[in-house]
Amino acid sequence: MSTVAVLVESRDGSVTQPTFEALTLARTLGTPVAVWIGAAPAPAEAARLGIHGAEEVRVVDAGDAARLPAAAAAALGAATADADVVLVISTFVNKEIVTRLALATGAGVVVDASDAEMVDGHVETLQTVFAATWNVRTRIATDKAIVGIRPNTTQASPGETPGAATLVEVAADLPETRELVTGVEPVPAPDGVPLAEAPVVVSGGRGTNGDYTLVRELAELLGGAVGASRDATDEGWISHEHMVGQTGTTVTPALYVACGISGAVHHRGGMQASGTIVAVNIDPDAPIFEIADFGVVGDLGDVIPQAIARIKEVRGS
Amino acid sequence: MRILVTVKFVPDLQSQRSFTDGAVTRTGDDGTMNELDENAVEAALQLREAAGEGEVYALTVGGDDAVAAVRKALQLGVDHALHVADASVAGSDVFGTAKVLAAAVRKVHDEAPLDLVITGMAALDGLTSMLPTALAAELDWSQLTLASGLTIDGATATVVRNLPDAHETVSAPLPAVVSVTDEANTPRYPNFKLIMAARSKPVTTWTLEDLGVDAATVGAAAARTVVVDASPRPPRENRTVVTDTGEGGAALADFLIERGLA
Ligand SMILES: Cc1cc2nc3c(=O)[nH]c(=O)nc-3n(C[C@H](O)[C@H](O)[C@H](O)COP(=O)(O)OP(=O)(O)OC[C@H]3O[C@@H](n4cnc5c(N)ncnc54)[C@H](O)[C@@H]3O)c2cc1C
Ligand SMILES: Nc1ncnc2c1ncn2[C@@H]1O[C@H](COP(=O)(O)O)[C@@H](O)[C@H]1O
């Protein structure tokens, strides 16, 4: 069986949900091992990785240097020398890391994949492109394959024979880097589920006029995260981390609700692959209606409160 | 200040984009310079203007039609246009493209040293965002990617990177490869005078031979990934749009409840 290495993402020491999704996918490709870059994880976190199928947790403590893609790539490379497949979550930073790793190893890379499978000994991936209007299947022709997988594309589940993962320390030779990180200003973690991982996203655009009360209320009711259009973040109505779209966060929740968002192609590119799309917009000609499973032409100030009341009423009865 | 900007020719976002034989269909009619490369051009022009001297090159790698990308850059005000056009480049993956771009950058750099290569944050056709890193690695220059702010102080470049978990400040010596995000600046529109002037500006065209790149190391044959299938996604079925006449919110709630989403 081939070894499939999964780069672990963690937030405040806890493994993120997309990591468990990647481990679940890794089990279909071979024998998963987890790679943890940083000081050794807490035993409970290592155990959760084991439950999701990791046979080993390989720990590479590269210190602060790991913020630089070249150093992180060297750390990941040291822990994945024997791996036939390296899986990472498709984030901007990981794309940089795997580009360096691919140059060092000769591996072929696909990022932003929504699925991966073994076909005749080669990894094949699925992606959506052109603002999610096309499906593309790509074969990685090299023996070693690197795949960047999008969050929310595999349903995470525990392994069939959940075992305790063994911790293995790996030493890495870090390269000299020219770049120096001189400042790190942490962004506070979002309340609730991060946008990219949320099963439900409720977004507000210019049509909110800057008032996110209703959008937040609906998001909370549905157990989702709050998103926004670029115009809304540019206005300073909500922070940049909430922006959905081609240059913001790409989301693929089971449900996407667009409130007062016109549906510009840049925005659609970041949400069009969502499961169910719902839109509320006062303009019947808004392009968002072209891709919405259910649309309401109306003022969000009327429609959203009524929807909230109705859901509460049905839940209460 | 000598700066080279990479610009990619991509299908227009608003057009019906498609695939032909596993590659993105690129035709002169509905193709254009990648929108996010406008931020790269803008960053370069602002640095040249602030320095009061210097030269800006625009470089593209692509088929004959790709010349439209560097022509657009000329209209925005760059000084020189370079186009690597060679049939052997077709089908290159990011590593092949980076190799060709790096060879062209070196050719310019050897004539007179460059301070910076500025790229867009992503090409809106594939959105891989891998090229800037690959180019920095090929050149073995400093890598300062995903910059939402860029300042040059003597021989050092400093950028701000807005990552989901932190805002980083990163410095490195020149020469550097910098990729800029769409937050970095607001691109200018070409004015009439520049559009007219761009018409008579020459575009330098290079082949792989001019760059000393072995054709066997790039193109489809050297690519590590192969598109085996591409098909348009079917449109969503059973779409419903209702007009709110007092019941719109309830209808929305009922739809969500029916689908098990609320
Ligand atoms: C290079 C580039 C990259 C970009 N990347 C992104 C990106 O990643 N993400 C992104 O979102 N955008 C992006 N944009 C911007 C994008 O093109 C649009 O400008 C933006 O998405 C529009 O935001 P909006 O829908 O909120 O605003 P608008 O287009 O102004 O739409 C507001 C909508 O609200 C409706 N409305 C108004 N009042 C009400 C009401 N009371 N009730 C209900 N509806 C109401 C209006 O009918 C309208 O349809 C990018 C642009 C560029 C150039
Ligand atoms: N063929 C090309 N010619 C010139 N520049 C390119 C080419 N491909 C990519 N680039 C540059 O690299 C950036 C990132 O592209 P990508 O990594 O493909 O998403 C783009 O914004 C361009 O500046």
Q: Is residue A229 part of a domain?
A: yes
The pLDDT value recorded for residue B233 is 86
Separation of alpha carbons B121 and B131, rounded Å: 9
Cβ atoms of residues B82 and B203 within 8 Å:
yes
Chain B residues lying within 8 Å of A185, measured CB to CB: 166-168
Reported ipTM: 0.93
Cβ atoms of residues B211 and A123 within 8 Å:
no
Give the CATH number of the domain where residue A236 resides. Answer: 3.40.50.1220
Helical H segments across A197-270, by residue range: 213-221, 230-234, 265-268
Chain B residues lying within 8 Å of A103, measured CB to CB: 95, 134, 137-138
The pLDDT value recorded for residue A21 is 97
Q: Is residue A175 part of a domain?
A: no
- Please identify, by atom number, the ligand 1 atom nearest to the C-alpha of residue B182: 1
Does B186 touch chain A if contact means CB atoms closer than 8 Å?
Answer: no
Same domain for A243 and A142, yes or no, is no
Separation of alpha carbons B56 and B73, rounded Å: 10
Distance (Å) from the C-alpha of residue B138 to the closest C-alpha of chain A? 9
Separation of alpha carbons B150 and B121, rounded Å: 13
Token readout for A295 is 């649309």
Same domain for A153 and A81, yes or no, is yes
pLDDT in tens, A63-80: 888 999 999 999 999 999
Q: Which chain A residue is nearest to residue B95, measuring alpha carbons?
A: A103
Give the CATH number of the domain where residue A79 resides. Answer: 3.40.50.620
Cβ atoms of residues A195 and A251 within 8 Å:
yes
Same domain for A8 and A156, yes or no, is yes
The secondary structure of A114-156 as a DSSP string is SEEEEETTEEEEEEEETTTTEEEEEEE-SSSEEEEE-TTSS--
Q: Is residue A254 part of a domain?
A: yes
The pLDDT value recorded for residue A86 is 98
Q: Which helix (H) or strand (E) holds A84?
A: none
Same domain for A22 and A152, yes or no, is yes
Q: Which chain B residue is nearest to residue A268, measuring alpha carbons?
A: B13
Same domain for A252 and A159, yes or no, is no
Q: Is residue A183 part of a domain?
A: no
Q: Is B172 within 8 Å of A178 when comparing Cβ atoms?
A: yes
Residues with CB under 6 A from ligand 2: B 6-8, 34, 36-37, 40, 60-62, 97, 101, 119-120, 122-123, 126-132
Q: Is residue A174 part of a domain?
A: no
Distance (Å) from the C-alpha of residue A181 to the closest C-alpha of chain B? 4
pLDDT in tens, A156-208: 999 987 677 899 999 999 999 999 999 999 988 777 788 999 999 999 999 99
Same domain for A146 and A221, yes or no, is no
Residues with CB under 6 A from ligand 1: A 205-207, 229-232, 243-248, 260-262, 264, 266-267, 270, 280-283, 286, 299-301; B 35-36, 182
Q: Is residue A103 part of a domain?
A: yes
pTM recorded for the entire structure:
0.93
The pLDDT value recorded for residue A187 is 87
Spacing, Cα B6 to ligand 2 middle (Å): 6
What Å distances lie between residue A209 and A228, A261, B213, CA to CA?
12, 11, 54
Same domain for A115 and A264, yes or no, is no
The pLDDT value recorded for residue A317 is 76
pLDDT in tens, A237-288: 998 889 999 888 999 999 999 999 999 999 998 999 899 999 999 999 999 9
Q: Which residues contact B114 (CB under 8 A, 6 or more apart)?
A: B2, B3, B4, B105, B108, B175
Same domain for A117 and A219, yes or no, is no
The pLDDT value recorded for residue B15 is 67
In the predicted model, residues of chain B with pLDDT beneath 70 are 13-16, 18-19, 21-22, 24-29, 127
Interior CA angle at B24 toward B21 and B25, to 5°?
Answer: 85
pLDDT in tens, A282-307: 999 999 999 999 999 999 999 999 99
Same domain for A22 and A149, yes or no, is yes
Domain boundary among A169, A184, A206: A169
- Please identify, by atom number, the ligand 2 atom nearest to the C-alpha of residue B34: 21
Does B221 touch chain A if contact means CB atoms closer than 8 Å?
Answer: no
Q: Which domain holds residue A163?
A: 3-169
Same domain for A53 and A151, yes or no, is yes
Separation of alpha carbons A284 and A299, rounded Å: 11
Does B196 touch chain A if contact means CB atoms closer than 8 Å?
Answer: no
Domains recognised in chain B with CATH numbers: 2-222 (3.40.50.620)
Residue whose CB lies within 8 A of the most ligand 1 atoms, among A243, A265, A281, A285, for a mutation test: A281
Q: Is A294 within 8 Å of B255 when comparing Cβ atoms?
A: yes
Q: Is residue A176 part of a domain?
A: no
Q: Is residue A71 part of a domain?
A: yes
Cβ atoms of residues B87 and B62 within 8 Å:
no
Nearest-CA residue for atom 12 of ligand 1:
A230
pLDDT in tens, A113-132: 999 999 999 999 999 887 77
What Å distances lie between residue B231 and A133, A150, A286, B11, B228, CA to CA?
9, 20, 26, 17, 10
Same domain for A132 and A220, yes or no, is no
The pLDDT value recorded for residue A130 is 79
Same domain for A202 and A74, yes or no, is no
Crossing angle of helices A92-105 and A69-79, in 10° steps, is: 60
Mean pLDDT score, A23-42: 96
Token readout for B147 is 């910059």
Count Cα neighbours of A3 within 13 Å in the Cβ-side half-sphere.
14
Selecting from A102, A185, A254 the residue whose C-beta is nearest the C-beta of B167 gives: A185
The pLDDT value recorded for residue A274 is 93
Q: How many structural domains compose chain A? A: 2
